[in-house]
Chain A
Amino acid sequence: SQKIEQNSEALNIQEGKTATLTCNYTNYSPAYLQWYRQDPGRGPVFLLLIRENEKEKRKERLKVTFDTTLKQSLFHITASQPADSATYLCARTGAGSYQLTFGKGTKLSVIP
C-alpha cells in the first residue's frame, strides 16, 4: 500500500524563525503531494500542491519542495507567526486517482 508519513507529531518554533515540516512517502512517487492546514475542531484547508516533476512551489510565506530521490516533501513557513500554529497534513495522490492518502499530521506551535 502507498504510505505517507509525517515523522514529527509536534514541532515548537520561535516566532520569526522558519518552520520546516517533513513528509515521507513509500513505494512509487505520487503524482502530487498536497499540504493542508487544520485548526482544532475544524476541517483541513488546502494550502499548496506540488507535482512530481516540480522541485519547488511557493505561495507567500509558504514553500514546498519535492525530492523524488529522498521520497520526501518539505514544507517551510518563513517568518513564522503565532497565527501559523496549527496541525499541518500532507497527502499523496497518484496519477489519474482522485483519492488522497493523508499523513497523521504535525502540530506546529509558534511561540511568541
Chain B
Amino acid sequence: DVKVTQSSRYLVKRTGEKVFLECVQDMDHENMFWYRQDPGLGLRLIYFSYDVKMKEKGDIPEGYSVSREKKERFSLILESASTNQTSMYLCASSSLGTSTYEQYFGPGTRLTVT
C-alpha cells in the first residue's frame, strides 16, 4: 500500500515562529504536493515538486517555502507563521509512471497559529 506520512497530526505555534511540516512517502513517487484545506474553500495547492530539488508554485505560495532534498521527503516551511495560516495541511504524492496521476494523501496536519 502507498503510504504518505506527515510529521505531526496537530501543531500549535505562536505568531512569528518558523514552522516546519514534513512529509514522507514510501512509494518512490516522483511528484509531491502540499495543499491547505479550509472550510468553504476546499483544497488549494501551495507548492509541488516533480523531482529532487525542483519546486513549482501552486495557487497560494505566499508566506510558504518548500524543500525537497530527497525523493521521498518534501517539507513545507512557514517562515514566520501568521494567524491566517491556521489550517489543515495535506501532503500528497503521485507517480509519473501511471499517466493518470491519482494522488495519495497523508493524514494531514492541523496547524493552529495563536
Contact residues of A with B, CB < 8 Å? 32, 34, 41-46, 49, 89, 93, 97-100, 102-105
Contact = CB atoms under 8 A, between A and B. Distances in A.
B107 A42 contact: yes
B41 A104 contact: yes
A100 to B, nearest CB: 6
B112 to A, nearest CB: 14
Mostly helix, strand, loop or mixed at chain A's interface? Answer: loop
Contacts of B107: 42-43
A97 to B, nearest CB: 8
A102 B42 contact: yes
Contacts of A104: 40-42
B102 interface: yes
B52 interface: no
Contacts of B92: 43
A102 to B, nearest CB: 4
B105 A93 contact: no
Interface stretch (B13-21, B76-84, B93-101): B93-101
25 contacts: A32-B100, A32-B101, A34-B100, A34-B102, A41-B108, A41-B110, A42-B107, A43-B4, A43-B92, A43-B105, A44-B43, A44-B103, A44-B105, A45-B105, A93-B101, A97-B101, A98-B94, A98-B96, A99-B45, A99-B48, A99-B58, A100-B101, A103-B42, A104-B41, A105-B42
B90 interface: yes
Interface of B: 4, 31, 40-43, 45, 48, 50, 58, 90, 92, 94, 96, 100-108, 110
Contacts of B40: 104
Contacts of A93: 101
